[in-house]
Amino acid sequence: MQHDETRIDGVTEVTATSNIRARAHGGRAKCLQRLVRLGLPVPRTEALDVDLVRRIGQGHGPDAGAILGRFGPDALVSVRPSSGVGDWGGPPSILNVGMTDARREAIARDVGAQAADALYARFIQSYATHVARLNPDRFEDLDDVAAMLAAYEEQAEDPFPQDPARQLAAVLTSMARAWEGTTARLLRRAQGAPEDAGLGLVVQEMVLGVGDPERGESGSGVIQFVSSETGLPQVTGRYLRQSQGREALMRKAPALYLTQDARGPSLEERHPELLGELQTYGALCRNRLREEMQIEFTLSHGRLNILDAVRVKRSVRAAIRIAVSLATEGVIPEAEAVLRVPPRALLDVLHPRIDPEADLPAIATGIAASPGAATGRLVFSAADAQAAAAREEAVILVRRETTPGDVLGMHAARAILTERGGVSSHAAVIARGLGVPCVVGASEIAIDRRGRFFRTPDGSVHREGDTVTVDGSAGRVVAGAPRLLEAAFDDALITLLTWADERRDIGVRANCDTPDEAELARRFEAEGIGLCRTEHMFFDEGRLTVMREMIFAREDADRAHALDQLLPMQRDDFVRIFQIMAGRPVCIRLLDPPLHEFLPTDRPGMTDLAASLGLPLDEVEARIRSLSEFNPMLGMRGVRLGIAIPEIYEMQARAIFEAAVRTSPRMTPEVMIPLVSARREVELVKSRIDAVAARVRTESGVEFDYSLGVMVETPRAALRADEIAEYATFLSFGTNDLTQMTYGLSRDDAGRFMSAYLRERVFAEDPFLQLDTEGVGELLTMGAERGRRGRPDVTLSICGEHGGDPDSIAFCRAAGFDYVSCSPFRVPVARMAAAHLAIRDRGISTMAPPER
């Protein structure tokens, strides 16, 4: 072939040595150059850079004939988009540009009229649709070239262009302009592309894929060597004889399987040498491009051409497996394997999810509050959930909102659905802690608790006992039991997390309130428990009654009696948790919620309580009323309880110390005081707890250590962290409450306007989901600095929900925190996120994987 090699500004031939840059020419051009460098048989390709394409869009393009001239007089070419580094979409590829009546004759002579007609028809159709913008329906049922040319001429009021250069010019202009269109811009923005991202194009010589069977195999296909679902080795793809481009994927028959297959004929049987060649190319890509690639190929009279290769699409599970395999085989460093898996993506594999194939309509939608999916029968009270769990029935608990009294029922349920609340509502926080799927704020459903059903806006009614599936990752509920894909905490993930742990430089602990959660924390290899809330321990039926007796005690002796009964129960909890954690640190928060949370709110509950306490109902009601508060969040809770009723904290401290004495290996419990706002609070509680420790040491004859710290949840505690640290060896920032108080915003009540706030961009993000680094974050930074000023070796951590959020972890790491603590299911995310930060900081090879 005669090639015109005149230089055209912005047009570069893709060769092993030419100056192709992803930023200038797009990802596809760069990838093709890599394939060329590997020696793969890539047809001649010319890359048009972003600037040139922009000029083409503005009508200042070069002579298309000169570009065609590069390919020789008779070449057909394809034009494909080559967008920025990420895959930001772009106009569809156009094949067979240059096809004309004359060229059709020549090709017919070469490979037969049928093949030539097929190519011409396909070109007319895509030119008509994507370049001339004619109505595609008018070309749908035509397969005769003459009819197509007539249809084109009729609609375009112009004959089909017979000048290849004019064709190419029109194709290039059309693609350049489509890129600048509003639709394309919106699509790109949705994918996170910059506003002004440019488009490159590649013009590639066509390999026909149709030909004379006598002269050898012709066709096209795609192939990859791992499973997109699992990431395990598996040849996947399809090959279609007498086809072009990706037709093999669209028209299944009469495609061939790639490898030998009982269901039908395969390329391996027919042309084992060709499959072997493809496998060689796949291995080359894997080892030299350091990535699993999907390869697009065309056979032309038995000769293999590689047209393109893109990263294998993959599930999170497959991404993990591929990254670990590449690193294990030494293709990439372990650190890069870690970087290749986005931390948040892990949530996908830690929980079951609804099979994406099961395309069911939602009967309710709300806020995705705790990820995972679960199927069960509807119940409308925590008691019913517990009863069902006792019968080993899977149930979904539906509540208007949950309260601490619902916690045992939440434990018993497979998933939770609430009408009210936001991502940080009680239901959401507890569900995440339990790892139970949860949808909150499904405000369109109308619950009838007495009738035991809920109604959806379309009027349909879902009753107790009906089977539904809650998808807490997507925030929706579907009727029935679709297929669920199981969680995959498999060897590849465990290996990846081990690599992550070897590199990260900030600790990760879990928030666990129960032995079950502690087991989860162990499984996810948390370094300890960063927040063990003690209040949930009192909701067990037997304990709740004693707790209520304690609350209702009028005499010190009565209170002491009740606390004496609670002591061994609480101690047993700690013994179990300490044993599970096997010497890893456990930070226990002393009782925090207002006492009225332990009291019944409805008449039957009050009647029961009156009976069990032997008090008249009206006195019980009056006492409960007197304990109620206008703003419980800002009321008598936390350390205020500890100072007003010191016996409670003393009992808890004793339970902790006695448990520590009984546990082997001996551990050093960490005791945390909640809701501190002034130094003197810590001083007072510390002196009492020190005294309890001394008594337990004397009684048991066992020496043990403990450390005492403060949960920093009020702005004042952050501001006064220096003097608070004089009495506290650690400061753990409770970012949930700190966010509430810094904004003056209750997470339970924010749901009613949070959506308006996000829509109006008042808040860039829900501050309960993503740490507000400007406001709350400044208090964290100040608190950390001042805490260190007061005690240079003070241990700093966060234990709010943000502890599992990668951005918040980055913030805490930058502020020099020692560890973060989060829900057990967030622990793997946090471990990965922390590793990403450390790896990026230390400048270990951070080469991004090739995008295509």
* 370 binding a second copy? (CB under 8 A): no
Q: Do residues 52 and 83 touch, judged by C-beta distance below 8 A?
A: no
Candidates 74, 144, 329, 629; binder of a second copy (CB under 8 A) is: 629
d(CA 212, CA 139): 27
Residue 102: other Cβ atoms inside 10 A: 11
Candidates 246, 729, 743, 849; binder of a second copy (CB under 8 A) is: 743
Positive or negative torsion for Cα 124, 126, 129, 132: negative
Angle of helix 603-613 relative to helix 617-627, nearest 10 degrees, comes to: 110
199-205 and 77-83 as β-strands: parallel, antiparallel, unpaired?
antiparallel
Q: Which CB atom, from 108 or from 684, has the smaller least distance to a second copy?
A: 684
* 404 binding a second copy? (CB under 8 A): no
596 is catalytic: no
* 3-state helix vs strand vs coil in the chain, percent to 5: 45, 15, 35
Which of these ranges, 311-319, 466-474, 484-492, 738-746, lies near a second copy under the rule CB under 8 A? 738-746
Using CB under 8 A, which residues numbered 505 to 544 contact a second copy? Answer: none
Which of these ranges, 167-175, 380-388, 449-457, 754-762, lies near a second copy under the rule CB under 8 A? 754-762
Per residue, the 3-state secondary structure of 704-751, as one string, reads: CCCEEEEEECCHHHHHCHHHHCCCCCEEEECHHHHHHHHHCCCCCCCH
Q: Do residues 230 and 263 touch, judged by C-beta distance below 8 A?
A: no
Which of these ranges, 5-13, 173-181, 214-222, 715-723, lies near a second copy under the rule CB under 8 A? 715-723
Q: Which residues pair with 471 in a beta bridge?
A: 373, 476
Which of these ranges, 453-461, 567-575, 613-621, 737-745, lies near a second copy under the rule CB under 8 A? 737-745
Residue 192: other Cβ atoms inside 10 A: 9
Candidates 180, 572, 608, 749; binder of a second copy (CB under 8 A) is: 749
Q: Which CB atom, from 118 or from 675, has the smaller least distance to a second copy?
A: 675
* 752 binding a second copy? (CB under 8 A): yes
Candidates 56, 725, 741, 829; binder of a second copy (CB under 8 A) is: 741
* 713 binding a second copy? (CB under 8 A): yes
> Considering only CA atoms, which of 215, 301, 206 is closest in space to residue 244?
206
* 737 binding a second copy? (CB under 8 A): yes
Least Å distance between CB 746 and a second copy? 4
d(CA 566, CA 830): 35
Which of these ranges, 232-240, 357-365, 383-391, 773-781, lies near a second copy under the rule CB under 8 A? 773-781
Which of these ranges, 134-142, 353-361, 470-478, 623-631, lies near a second copy under the rule CB under 8 A? 623-631
Q: Which CB atom, from 249 or from 633, has the smaller least distance to a second copy?
A: 633
The residue count for binding a second copy (CB under 8 A) is: 48
Q: Which CB atom, from 479 or from 643, has the smaller least distance to a second copy?
A: 643
Candidates 458, 631, 701, 793; binder of a second copy (CB under 8 A) is: 631
Using CB under 8 A, which residues numbered 88 to 147 contact a second copy? Answer: none
d(CA 789, CA 731): 13
Q: What tokens does 214 get? A: 């006598």
* 748 binding a second copy? (CB under 8 A): yes
Catalytic residue from among 532, 799, 812, 822: 799
d(CA 25, CA 21): 6
d(CA 209, CA 302): 10
Catalytic residue from among 130, 426, 462, 596: 426
> Considering only CA atoms, which of 851, 849, 746 is closest in space to residue 331?
849
Which of these ranges, 380-388, 494-502, 564-572, 743-751, lies near a second copy under the rule CB under 8 A? 743-751
d(CA 508, CA 525): 9
The residue type of 341 is V
Least Å distance between CB 148 and a second copy? 54
Q: What x/- string results for residues 667 through 686 when contact with a second copy is judged by CB under 8 A? A: --------x-xx-xx--x--
DSSP states along 400-463:
SS--GGGHHHHHH-SEEEESS--TTSHHHHHHHHHT--EEE--TT-EEETTTTEEE-TTS-EEE
* 424 binding a second copy? (CB under 8 A): no
DSSP states along 768-784:
TTS--TTTHHHHHHHHH
Least Å distance between CB 684 and a second copy? 6
Least Å distance between CB 537 and a second copy? 23
Least Å distance between CB 686 and a second copy? 13
* 763 binding a second copy? (CB under 8 A): yes
Candidates 715, 773, 807, 818; binder of a second copy (CB under 8 A) is: 715
Helices (H), 582-719: 603-613, 617-627, 639-644, 646-662, 679-700, 715-719
d(CA 326, CA 333): 8
* 632 binding a second copy? (CB under 8 A): yes
Q: Do residues 27 and 309 touch, judged by C-beta distance below 8 A?
A: no
Q: What tokens does 610 get? A: 């009156």
Least Å distance between CB 464 and a second copy? 21
Name residue, tokens 């006792």.
390
Least Å distance between CB 790 and a second copy? 14
Which of these ranges, 63-71, 290-298, 566-574, 627-635, lies near a second copy under the rule CB under 8 A? 627-635
Candidates 254, 778, 840, 841; binder of a second copy (CB under 8 A) is: 778
* 744 binding a second copy? (CB under 8 A): yes
Candidates 772, 801, 805, 851; binder of a second copy (CB under 8 A) is: 772
Least Å distance between CB 428 and a second copy? 14
Q: Which CB atom, from 290 or from 788, has the smaller least distance to a second copy?
A: 788
Candidates 9, 195, 760, 793; binder of a second copy (CB under 8 A) is: 760
DSSP states along 108-145:
HHHH-HHHHHHHHHHHHHHIIIIIS---THHHHT---H
CA distance between the termini of the chain: 30
353-354 and 484-485 as β-strands: parallel, antiparallel, unpaired?
antiparallel
Q: Which CB atom, from 336 or from 681, has the smaller least distance to a second copy?
A: 681
799 is catalytic: yes
Q: Do residues 280 and 297 touch, judged by C-beta distance below 8 A?
A: no
Candidates 714, 732, 735, 795; binder of a second copy (CB under 8 A) is: 714
Least Å distance between CB 544 and a second copy? 21
d(CA 459, CA 462): 10
* 742 binding a second copy? (CB under 8 A): yes
Candidates 28, 188, 340, 720; binder of a second copy (CB under 8 A) is: 720
Q: Do residues 672 and 706 touch, judged by C-beta distance below 8 A?
A: no
Candidates 38, 142, 613, 745; binder of a second copy (CB under 8 A) is: 745
Candidates 435, 441, 530, 635; binder of a second copy (CB under 8 A) is: 635
> Considering only CA atoms, which of 298, 313, 312, 304 is closest in space to residue 247?
298
* 761 binding a second copy? (CB under 8 A): yes
Least Å distance between CB 632 and a second copy? 7
* 455 binding a second copy? (CB under 8 A): no
* 633 binding a second copy? (CB under 8 A): yes
* 262 binding a second copy? (CB under 8 A): no
Q: What tokens does 293 get? A: 């690639």
CA distances from 760 to 192, 755, 756, 757, 786 (A): 20, 8, 6, 5, 36
Q: Which residues are catalytic?
A: 426, 799
Binding stretches for a second copy (CB under 8 A): 629-636, 640, 643-644, 675, 677-678, 680-681, 684, 713-716, 719-720, 737, 740-746, 748-750, 752-753, 756-757, 760-763, 772, 774-776, 778-779
